[in-house]
Structure 1
Amino acid sequence: MASTSAYAGDEGWEDAGWYSAGAGAPEDAICGPSDFDGNRACFRKNGDQWFIYDGAADLMTPYVDWQNRLAYDNGTWQSSPYRSGRCENLWPYDNWGVCNKDYYESSTRNKIGGHGSQVRFRLCLRESSGCSTGWSEWIDNNF
């Protein structure tokens, strides 16, 4: 995987580093609920990475909106996100972008005393007013 460095702040916007177009998303990545105008978004638990594919020659910028929530010590989940952010693919058409994050794993004690976290996401286009079909299901970050 060839990538450049990318800002990896906890929240807010992040520009994706480049990821080889021929490679596609890693096999262990969780993709979709759907693609959006030929674009695609995927999450990889191993490495807490977001992959965004620009599959449309339309001069629009695909990005993934993500949310992250934590488990309480009794095993229930927060009702609102602990963190949220955006990862944009600014690379030209037919390229993947990748952003690296750092979320709590199920084996680690989180900030509110429980173990682990979950993420969910949706694919959007910056130059349009829309996102994909909505948020994905919550995904346990249990790598």
Structure 2
Amino acid sequence: MTTAAEIMHTGARWIPATETLDRAAQLMRRLDVGALPVSDSDERLCGMLTDRDIVVGCVAHGHDPSHMTAGDLSKGTPRWIESTADVGTVLEEMQTHRIRRLPVIENKRLVGIISEADLAQHLSDQQRARFMEGVYA
């Protein structure tokens, strides 16, 4: 059984909800990622922030990214998966909630993130087709 820990990208980093969006964008550039998990003051997942969120939710509205925070754009209930979850559970979570990136948690700490590309490498052709239809339909 392949687990979330075996397919995740390691080295994922939190960004505090209090961090400004310009700093978030700089961290995304440095890490070469398009999304960051957002943490509250207790280092608990409270949302996800994407590069698209910054552009559409801040810049396109004429707001200053040095004055808006990651917490300003984080909304909804964040989804995550335990590192011991099997690939089928990862697939179901991402498909059900139509998400493309899934933080991986172990002992209440962020240990990685699974992208749709990471997941796709571990699916059968039939599972991959069902996933793409569920997330992109």
TM-score, normalising length: structure 1: 0.26
Hey, which of these two has a bigger chunk of helix by percent? 2
Hey, which of these two has a bigger chunk of strand by percent? 1
